[in-house]
Amino acid sequence: MTASRELAPTRLIEVPVDPLLAVAAVARLARPPFVVYERAGTWVLAAGARVRLRMDGTGIAVTTPAGQRRVPLTAQPLRQVAEVLAEAGTEPWRAYGWAAFELARLLHLGHADGPLLDLVVPAYELVIGPDGVREHGTAPEGVAEAMRAAASQSWPGPAADLTDPDALDEDYLTAVRATVRDIQAGDADKVILSRVVPVDGEIDFPATYVAGRRGNTPARSFLLDLGGLRATGFSPETVVEVDPAGRVSTRPLAGTRALVGDPDLDLATRRELLGDPKEIFEHAISVKLAQDELAAVCAPDSVRVEEFMTVRERGSVQHLASRVRGELADGRTAWDAFAALFPSITASGIPKAAAVSAIGRNEPRRGLYSGAVLTVDSDGALDAALVLRTVFSAGGQTWLRAGAGVIALSTPEREWTETCEKLRSISRFLVPAQVRGAAG
């Protein structure tokens, strides 16, 4: 996070902190809308809204201190988003928020319903990183005191009986069988099918964030409450990363085995993963599509694959992982890269339009699941985390969700097992709301 992109004025808070505990403690004080986002050793809590942008399938609602207006959508909705944000002011700004998976229907099929994008330019940022703690804007009352007390507080722990990720889901097995038949008939090459697992009762989101972050090794983590929707998660990969110079990258993860903490067993399953034809094929076609998508928005000959098919550990699972990089072509922006890569190949399928259609036929609305939590800067940078390994709450319901990549070689039982393995990255860390320690 660069200081030039942060809100002014800047104030250094002289408090010794554990960044995770400090940001969770302040999240207890924050009123929605707020977003906590962790990237590369820095945590940011962004709260309040100087500007808020909400897009659905027909238009963009823009709220500022001067009031609200609505902009009808054109054929290039993300360019409209960029234009609206550019009107946020001449001072540097950063927006935080999320994109629903159904934004893919708008981008790839030309139509979509319901909320698709929600971004806020915050009134307050708390930045906790290697160089200390800084705040920008108007802080919630008691921020410094909450951070000072965070390390000594007794945070409530997880409960084991809030959900059962291993409960057999016959509907999911049936959907996988049907999708395998469709793929064999030529409808698509790969479709990621997901299933919903309910959670009993309300959970304590800040405490769950603390417990889950301690038990996971994510590429990004987040905690958000935008009013009506709460979520916390531990993203295994990014959809896209763009820096101010136009360097862009994406990291597809495809191919999965469990990670149980036993060195011998984990090494055996890693070797199995690296030698499994189904997993290798699934990963290779994902990397190939990522190359093609970046090539559409990047300078000729700038797209390259790095770290091909390494193994990355992410909480309760290990994945085959690669990195694809490029440099944006003249006239292209971070939003063009986001449009090209969204939704993530590893959460939708190949080709994307066919996969998105298949998902719509077989699943209830995904919303934030397999969409993105993102930050976008006035200097052209954008960072979007894929929303997996996440717990959600809205409308009085709390739930988890996980999916698996279905190809012609898939078996329903193995894909169901894969969803169980992924769900354990979050199901083991749920803290019920009624259990409160000194953290309050």
Average pLDDT, the chain: 90
Q: Is the pLDDT of residue 145 over 90?
A: no
Model confidence at 252, in pLDDT bands (50, 70, 90)? confident
* Tokens 């994510």 sit on residue: 218
Percentage of the chain exceeding pLDDT 70: 95
Which helix (H) or strand (E) segment holds residue 286: the answer is helix 277-295
- In this prediction, residues 202-207 reach a mean pLDDT of 96
Q: Is the pLDDT of residue 340 over 60?
A: yes
Q: What are the pLDDT digits (tens) for 279-299?
A: 898 888 889 999 999 999 999
pLDDT band at residue 124, thresholds of 50, 70 and 90?
Answer: very high
> 253: pLDDT confidence band, cut at 50, 70 and 90?
confident
Residues annotated as catalytic are 237
Name the CA radius of gyration of the chain, rounded. Answer: 21
Cα 324 to Cα 281, 347, 361, 371: the distances in Å are 17, 17, 31, 20
Question: Over the stretch 374-431, which tens digit does the pLDDT of each residue have?
Answer: 999 999 999 999 999 999 999 999 999 999 999 999 999 999 999 999 999 999 999 9
Residue-level pLDDT at 108: 92
pLDDT score of 2 more than 60: no
How far is Cα 418 from Cα 404, in angstroms, rounded to an integer?
6
Lowest mean pLDDT among 27-36, 84-93, 94-103, 388-397: 84-93
Average pLDDT over residues 119-147: 87
Alpha-carbon gap, residue 347 to 386, rounded angstroms: 8
Q: To 10 degrees, what angle do helices 334-341 and 277-295 make?
A: 150
Mean pLDDT of 87-106: 90
* Cβ–Cβ under 8 Å, residues 8 and 420: no
The yes-or-no verdict on residue 218 having pLDDT over 80 is yes
The stretch 85-114 carries a mean pLDDT of 91
* 134, pLDDT greater than 80: yes
Angle at 86 between CA 230 and CA 341, to 5 degrees: 60
CB 410 within 8 A of CB 278: yes
Interval 30-75: pLDDT, tens: 999 999 999 988 999 999 999 999 999 999 999 998 899 999 999 9
Per-residue confidence band for 435, with pLDDT thresholds at 50, 70 and 90: very low
Q: How far is CA 251 from CA 160, 289, 354, in A?
A: 32, 12, 22
Rounded to two decimals, the pTM is: 0.91
Rounded mean pLDDT, 220-242: 96
Whether 121 contacts 4, CB under 8 Å? no
* CA 305 – CA 321 distance, rounded (Å): 11
Q: For residue 255, what pLDDT is reported?
A: 79
The whole-number pLDDT of residue 89 equals 67
pLDDT at 107 over 70: yes
Confidence class for position 10, pLDDT limits 50, 70, 90: low
Q: Provide the pLDDT for residue 5.
A: 46
d(CA 229, CA 226): 6
pLDDT at res. 211:
97
- pLDDT, tens only, 316-339: 788 788 999 999 999 999 999 999
User: Which token pair is 161?
Assistant: 């009986």
pLDDT for res 240: 97
* In the predicted structure, residue 9 carries a pLDDT above the cut 70: no
Higher pLDDT, 140 or 194: 194
Alpha-carbon dihedral 343, 124, 80, 232, rounded to 10 degrees: 20
Structure-token pair, residue 215: 């038990």
pLDDT of the residue at 15: 64
**The pLDDT value given to residue 111:** 93
- pLDDT confidence band for 256 (50 / 70 / 90): confident
